[in-house]
Amino acid sequence: MTSSPPGPSVTPLGPSVASQASSVAPQSQGFSLEGRTALVTGARRGIGAAIAAGFAAAGADLILMARDAALEDTLEAIKQSGGREATVITADFADPAAVEAAATEIANSRTIDILVNNAGTIRRAPAASTSPADWHHVIDVNLNSTWAVTRPVGAAMVSRGEGKIITIASLLSFQGGITVPAYTASKHAVAGLTKALANEWGPSGVQVNAIAPGYISTDNTTDLRADPEREAAIRDRIPAGRWGRPEDLVGAAVFLASAASAYVNGHVLAVDGGWLAR
Ligand SMILES: NC(=O)c1ccc[n+]([C@@H]2O[C@H](COP(=O)([O-])OP(=O)(O)OC[C@H]3O[C@@H](n4cnc5c(N)ncnc54)[C@H](OP(=O)(O)O)[C@@H]3O)[C@@H](O)[C@H]2O)c1
């Protein structure tokens, strides 16, 4: 007579499961960006500058795209982070055609492994008094120029069969905001574009994700922080109990740029001190 061994029954992994497991690529690179080249837009200050320095610390070479070449502070931060190579290219994001030309040229001459669409602007005014010029400026910088960079750089990634695209969205990709109608429209569109491209380019090995920063202390939010009531109202609503700093975005950016996020696609990752959970 045979008897089962004592203890819980264990079902051995079948051959199909075992062979699946062994065919999974090892995550040997983890969070390292060693040997990768990242193009970061709007890297002169704020969140873009912090992400560029963070990428350098993780081992990436940088291509910085900005409206003028005066990027001394960012270049110094990259150097201090142990960065190796940093190239600067210029284009004004208020002119999507010029941005597309510059992006096409760099996509044809360099292998870009990671693209961070960070350049962005905001105009604060009630909807009824938002001028057509302000509306078009915000949509051009935040949306049309994001598209103008992403199309040629993404097309080259699709041809190579790999790439990582990270777009900087916003809490206003989820919420309406207060008297920033063009900004909210642009950031909702950026989240939609992220998902559309993830669907289309995912099968070609290109992942497209977004980071939605919460309220971060940069020039983008100077007006909010200058108004004591608004500043306190915002801070009181953040479960973390403080405004974010540009450096708070670096971990999420390195994750989405690295092999560690190999199975993450079409996601909008809030880095907001808990704001959206409220
Ligand atoms: N701070 C926040 O709370 C917050 C929250 C959610 C999302 N975001 C987003 O995060 C991104 C970075 O913003 P930030 O907070 O770091 O603000 P920031 O300090 O004002 O930086 C904006 C960056 O975008 C660049 N830029 C603006 N207009 C441009 C143009 N016409 N052509 C080329 N570059 C241009 C700026 O370049 P110059 O230095 O040359 O002007 C700068 O490097 C933006 O997409 C923003 O919408 C910020």
Q: pLDDT tens for residues 200-221?
A: 999 999 999 999 999 999 999 9
Q: Can you say whether residue 7 is alpha, beta or left, with left for phi > 0 and alpha for psi between -120 and 50 degrees?
A: left
- For residue 11, the CA-to-ligand 1 centroid distance in Å is 54
- For residue 145, the CA-to-ligand 1 centroid distance in Å is 13
**Superfamily of domain 30-277, CATH level 4:** NAD(P)-binding Rossmann-like Domain (3.40.50.720)
pLDDT at 14 over 80: no
Residue from 118, 174, 217 to probe ligand 1 pocket by mutation (most atoms less than 8 Å from CB): 118
User: How many residues make up the chain in this entry?
Assistant: 278
Name the residue at shortest CA distance from atom 5 of ligand 1. Answer: 213
- For residue 214, the CA-to-ligand 1 centroid distance in Å is 14
d(C-alpha 167, C-alpha 264), whole Å: 14
The pLDDT of residue 84: 86
255-272 residue pLDDT tens: 999 999 999 999 999 999
Name the residue at shortest CA distance from atom 31 of ligand 1. Answer: 93
pLDDT at 243 over 90: yes
Mean pLDDT of 82-107: 97
The secondary element (H helix, E strand) that includes residue 185 is helix 181-201
The pLDDT of residue 28: 56
Between helices 96-109 and 145-160, what is the axis angle to 10°?
A: 20
The pLDDT of residue 2: 35
The lowest-confidence range among 8-22, 157-171, 226-240, 254-268 is 8-22
Ligand 1-lining residues (CB < 6 angstroms): 42, 44-48, 66-67, 92-94, 118-121, 141, 168, 170, 213, 215-216, 218-221
d(C-alpha 83, C-alpha 75), whole Å: 9
d(C-alpha 267, C-alpha 160), whole Å: 22
d(C-alpha 117, C-alpha 146), whole Å: 6
Residue ranges per domain, the chain?
30-277
25-79 residue pLDDT tens: 555 579 999 999 999 999 999 999 999 999 999 999 999 999 999 999 999 999 9
Query: What's the Cα-to-Cα distance from 142 to each of 7, 116, 159, 273, rounded to whole Å?
Result: 60, 13, 26, 23
Mean pLDDT of 162-187: 98
pTM for the predicted model, two decimal places? 0.92
pLDDT at 22 over 60: no
In the structure encoding, which two tokens stand for residue 168, read together? 């900087």
End-to-end CA distance of the chain: 62
- For residue 110, the CA-to-ligand 1 centroid distance in Å is 25
The pLDDT of residue 35: 96
Show the CA angle centred on residue 83, arms to residues 81 and 86, nearest 5°. 130
pLDDT at 24 over 70: no
- For residue 215, the CA-to-ligand 1 centroid distance in Å is 13
Name the residue at shortest CA distance from atom 24 of ligand 1. Answer: 119
Do residues 258 and 29 touch, judged by C-beta distance below 8 A?
yes
CB count, 10 Å around CB of 65?
Answer: 28
The pLDDT of residue 250: 98
In the structure encoding, which two tokens stand for residue 28, read together? 């040997």
Name the residue at shortest CA distance from atom 7 of ligand 1. Answer: 170
Q: Please give the positions annotated as active site.
A: 183
pLDDT at 7 over 70: no
pLDDT at 11 over 80: no
In the structure encoding, which two tokens stand for residue 80, read together? 């201090």
Mean pLDDT of 81-99: 96
The pLDDT of residue 12: 39
Name the residue at shortest CA distance from atom 42 of ligand 1. Answer: 42
Atom in ligand 1 nearest the alpha carbon of residue 94? 31
pLDDT, the chain, mean: 92
Do residues 77 and 40 touch, judged by C-beta distance below 8 A?
no
Integer Rg of the chain from CA:
21
